[in-house]
């Protein structure tokens, strides 16, 4: 009873901490990789593998010691407003866009930076105003395969495991622009560079934005989301309790982030090798009249090694400054949106991640199975450094009313200020110290996940099978995805 009370208190504290802090003004989001989802990987299947390893240890001549597990799953994120704040400016869910002569003084983005122009004269439409909001959502579905084989030529207590998740992931920022005032009328002409009809037009511009586009629609990506290998050794393998230890290796087979779009779908962990280890423990709490109740716990640790990724920066204390315009000091021939230069190759170090899984498993007459569980997941703050030296000799461009650079800089500008304002007396370049590396990393994250699973098992020609249906919900701040998931599981011991 005392242990149960401590677990409840710990779970409530972890749930509180996971929602305690949130972040904003970010350019990159790394969702929890499926190989780090201890619920998806272990709900019901951990107990099944423990029991089957015991069956093999009792009589290795009956079966060949091979376990197959398959999860057909679907997951969808929730808490769209919290995730919108992650990408937005200063924790806002709606941003006001307004020009210098629109009459709106409280604005988040100045129209002029977006190149919203009259199509007949190409002059900036400084009367324009609108509002934009984001409602980010992620969906993923696929099948997660596991195979476990006893290495009886070494020991009956040693099992090799491999996990192969094939998934499709979809992300959608759901960019919505409303309250549009004084929108230029689009004409059937070749569009000059930096000329937009509205904010949505600018943020989806293939010509102006090589990176950091805010796509108005669904992005999709599918593939093999990393391979995980474990060597699981059972120190104790009795009916009353089981204890095993495993080292593990994660082989990256997913995709590197491209930074072409905000909130891009990511398969795997971003192409980082991982090494780790873990402990599994199971203990009988009750065994009476065909009713069996067990306590199961798992502690899993991984360390991710450094790898190169594309990431996008903002300037320090200037959110969304990646959408300002830049020019170069020497020739003034460079005239580009900052995101095209602020997106670089970086050495990313994800470092540690940790999983704790606690569950109660009920078995009636080796037929009906129910499991209620809790999972705590934590990841460290990423490390980041330039792969190549920052050498761009550029500054923030001062513009004229014709949407052209004056050749001067306006270094105190933000995305909310007028680029037609007073410029610097001399060309002011953006130095390395002005760049905000923190804007491009994923901070440390903590989430809590609860699940309920139920199913039946039986025997066919000495092969033990089990089928389960599970439902889970993950609670988190906006540094991890709050999401619900559903999956169908089939287990087979041969």
pLDDT band for position 405 (cuts 50, 70, 90): confident
The pLDDT of 8-19, averaged and rounded, is: 51
Tell me whether residue 98 is in a domain: no
pLDDT tens for residues 345-387? Answer: 999 999 999 999 999 999 999 899 999 999 999 999 999 999 9
pLDDT band for position 190 (cuts 50, 70, 90): low
pLDDT band for position 2 (cuts 50, 70, 90): low
pLDDT score for 281: 96
pLDDT at 19 over 60: no
Least confident of 24-33, 123-132, 323-332, 438-447: 323-332
Residue 298 pairs in a beta bridge with 280, 357
Residue spans of alpha helices (H) in 274-337: none
Tell me whether residue 249 is in a domain: yes
pLDDT score for 187: 61
Per-residue DSSP letters for 191-243? PPTT-BSSHHHHHT-TTT-SS-B--SS-EEEEEE--EEEEEEEEEEE-SSEEE
pLDDT at 282 over 60: yes
482 versus 331: the higher-pLDDT residue is: 482
Q: State what percent of residues in the chain have pLDDT above 70.
A: 93
The pLDDT of 11-31, averaged and rounded, is: 71
pLDDT tens for residues 89-107? Answer: 999 999 999 999 888 989 9
The pLDDT of 110-124, averaged and rounded, is: 84
Tell me whether residue 61 is in a domain: yes
Tell me whether residue 287 is in a domain: yes
Q: Which of 122, 249, 92, 263 is nearest to 195 (CA)?
A: 122
Tell me whether residue 77 is in a domain: yes
pLDDT at 121 over 80: no
pLDDT score for 492: 95
Show the domain range for 43: 2-93+134-175+214-310+354-378+455-493
pLDDT band for position 55 (cuts 50, 70, 90): confident
Extract the tokens encoding 103.
């009459």
The whole-angstrom separation of Cα 139 and Cα 229 is: 26
Please state, as a whole number, how many other Cβ atoms lie within 10 Å of the Cβ of residue 209: 21
pLDDT at 141 over 70: yes
The CATH number of the domain where 249 resides is what? 2.40.128
Tell me whether residue 276 is in a domain: yes
Q: Which of 189, 10, 20, 75 is nearest to 470 (CA)?
A: 75
The pLDDT of 100-115, averaged and rounded, is: 92
Beta carbons within 8 Å of 410's beta carbon, 6+ residues apart: 396, 397, 398, 419, 421, 422, 423, 424
Least confident of 9-23, 65-79, 195-209: 9-23
pLDDT score for 406: 83
pLDDT score for 5: 54
Least confident of 7-21, 151-165, 255-269, 356-370: 7-21
Average pLDDT along the chain:
91
Extract the tokens encoding 328.
């170069």
Q: State what percent of residues in the chain have pLDDT above 90.
A: 73
Instruction: Please state the domain count of the chain.
Output: 1
pLDDT at 8 over 60: no
SS3 164: strand
User: pTM of the prediction?
Assistant: 0.91
pLDDT at 18 over 50: no
Q: Give the helix/strand (H/E) hosting 84.
A: helix 80-87
Tell me whether residue 344 is in a domain: no
In the block, residue with structure tokens 């677990």: 7
pLDDT at 398 over 80: yes
- Helix/strand/coil (H, E, C) string of 123-146? CECCCCEEEEECCCEEEEEEEEEE
Tell me whether residue 9 is in a domain: yes
pLDDT band for position 191 (cuts 50, 70, 90): low
């Amino acid at each position: 009873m005392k242990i149960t009370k401590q677990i409840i208190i710990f779970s409530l504290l972890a749930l509180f901490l996971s929602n305690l802090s949130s972040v904003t003004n970010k350019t990159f989001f790394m969702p929890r990789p499926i190989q780090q989802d201890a619920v998806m990987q272990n709900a019901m299947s951990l107990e099944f593998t423990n029991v089957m390893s015991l069956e093999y240890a009792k009589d290795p001549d009956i079966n060949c010691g091979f376990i197959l597990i398959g999860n057909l799953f679907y997951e969808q994120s929730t808490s769209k407003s919290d995730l919108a704040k992650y990408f937005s400016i200063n924790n806002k869910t709606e941003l006001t866009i307004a020009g210098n002569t629109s009459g709106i003084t409280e604005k988040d983005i100045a129209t002029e930076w977006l190149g919203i122009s009259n199509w007949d004269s190409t002059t900036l439409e400084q009367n324009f105003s609108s509002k934009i909001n984001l409602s980010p959502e992620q969906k993923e579905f696929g099948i997660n395969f596991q195979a476990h084989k006893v290495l009886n030529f070494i020991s009956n207590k040693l099992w090799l495991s491999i996990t192969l998740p094939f998934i499709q992931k979809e992300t959608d920022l759901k960019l919505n622009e409303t309250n549009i005032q004084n929108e230029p009328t689009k004409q059937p002409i070749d569009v000059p560079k930096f000329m937009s009809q509205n904010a949505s037009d600018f943020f989806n511009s293939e010509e102006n934005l090589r990176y950091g586009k805010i796509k108005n629609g669904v992005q999709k990506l599918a593939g093999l989301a990393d391979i995980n290998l474990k060597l699981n050794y059972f120190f104790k393998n009795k009916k009353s309790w089981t204890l095993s230890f495993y080292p593990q290796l994660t082989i990256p087979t997913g995709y590197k982030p491209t930074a072409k779009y905000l909130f891009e779908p990511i398969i795997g962990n971003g192409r980082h090798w991982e090494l780790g280890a873990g402990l599994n423990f199971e203990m009988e709490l009750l065994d009476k009249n065909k009713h069996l109740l067990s306590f199961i716990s798992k502690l899993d640790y991984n360390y991710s090694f450094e790898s190169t990724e594309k990431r996008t920066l903002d300037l320090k204390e200037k959110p969304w400054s990646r959408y300002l315009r830049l020019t170069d000091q020497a020739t003034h021939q460079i005239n580009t949106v900052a995101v095209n230069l602020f997106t670089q190759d970086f050495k990313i170090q994800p470092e540690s991640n940790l999983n704790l899984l606690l569950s109660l498993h009920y078995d009636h007459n080796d037929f009906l199975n129910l499991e209620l569980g809790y999972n705590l997941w934590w990841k460290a703050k990423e490390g980041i450094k330039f792969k190549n030296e920052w050498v761009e000799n550029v500054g923030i461009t001062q513009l004229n009313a014709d949407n052209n650079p004056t050749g001067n800089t306006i270094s105190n500008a933000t995305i909310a200020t007028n680029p037609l304002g007073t410029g610097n007396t001399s060309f002011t370049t953006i130095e390395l110290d002005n760049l905000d590396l923190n804007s491009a990393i994923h901070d440390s994250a903590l989430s809590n996940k609860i699940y309920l699973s139920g199913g039946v098992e039986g025997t066919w020609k000495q092969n033990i099978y089990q089928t389960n249906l599970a439902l889970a919900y993950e609670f988190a701040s906006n540094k991890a995805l709050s999401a619900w998931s559903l999956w169908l599981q089939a287990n087979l011991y041969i």
